[in-house]
Amino acid sequence: MIVAVIHGPNLNLLGVREPEVYGKTTLEEINGRIEELAGELGIEVMICQHNSEGDLIDAIQEAGCEADGIVINPAGYTHTSVAIHDALKAVPIPAIEVHLSNILAREDWRHRSMTAPACEGIIGGLGVDSYLLAVRGIVALVEARR
């Protein structure tokens, strides 16, 4: 099984970016934890991070051809992107949306996710564990549908 993990804009700055909100763990450390879990679960992960919307859409389309499921943190595009919603709907594989922070406990304008309705589920507020739970979730979902 192959799971694509797609990180959105500004997540390359984790560790230094608003640590009081996002914690001190870097993206590299998060990716290491994901790879470790992938080893335990016996799956492959394709991990990428992009700051621009078009690159994220390309990554979703590529995952649609190469992977069995997607874990995505669309970051700021969560709240604005019809195009990322459409890309997630356009591919024939399921996705789970992830957030490090609890977007419902933050500013009003973060309460709406444009992208979550195109996903099977959403996990947030648990820091790195949001990603790890999402990977376990997508694996269970893909297996259940086989």
Please identify, using beta-carbon distances, which residue of 41 and 114 lies nearer to ligand DQA: 114
Answer yes or no: are the C-beta atoms of 98 and 8 closer than 8 Å.
Answer: no
Residue 121 in the binding site for ligand DQA (CB under 6 A): no
Instruction: Name which of residues 51 to 80 contact ligand DQA (CB under 6 A).
Output: 73, 75-76, 78
115 binds ligand DQA (CB under 6 A): no
Gap between the Cα atoms of 25 and 95, Å rounded: 24
Which residue out of 7, 22, 50, 131 is catalytically annotated?
22
The answer to whether 99 is a known catalytic residue is: yes
What tokens does 81 get?
Answer: 């992107």
- If the CB atoms of residues 44 and 127 are measured against ligand DQA, the closer one turns out to be 127
**One-letter-per-residue 3-state SS of 108-141:** HHHCCCCCHHHCCEEEECCCHHHHHHHHHHHHHH
Q: Give the interface with ligand DQA as residue ranges (CB under 6 A).
A: 10, 73, 75-76, 78, 99-101, 103, 110
